[in-house]
Amino acid sequence: MTEYLFLAVEERYTSSRRTVSGRECGGFAITNLTLSGRKLLPGLELTLSLFNLFDKRYSDPVSAAHLQDSIVQDGRTIRGQLTYSF
């Protein structure tokens, strides 16, 4: 975007997969968005990320060590990071 602001878009696709019991976990696409600001002030960097932008509901298959066949993953999640270097 500029010398100080950066915008990144990530698209992640996973096809359908079978669980240990043979049930199918459907495929899904997830969009993540990250905005990063550097040199806002000397030594200061700020990052704000939005994961699963469209709040897609999906699950991942797990091993036989778990009681359930699959685990539902996080919905829309916001994470921020503030870093100061000196």
CA pair distance 84, 45, nearest whole angstrom = 6
Interval 4-55: pLDDT, tens: 999 999 999 999 999 999 999 999 999 999 999 988 888 899 999 999 999 9
State which residues form the domain around 27: 5-84
Count of domains forming the chain: 1
Residue 48 is classified by DSSP as E
**Sign of the four-CA dihedral 14, 20, 24, 25:** negative
Neighbours of 6 (CB within 10 A): 13
Which pair of structure tokens corresponds to residue 3? Answer: 């010398």
- The reply to whether the predicted model has a pTM over 0.85 is no
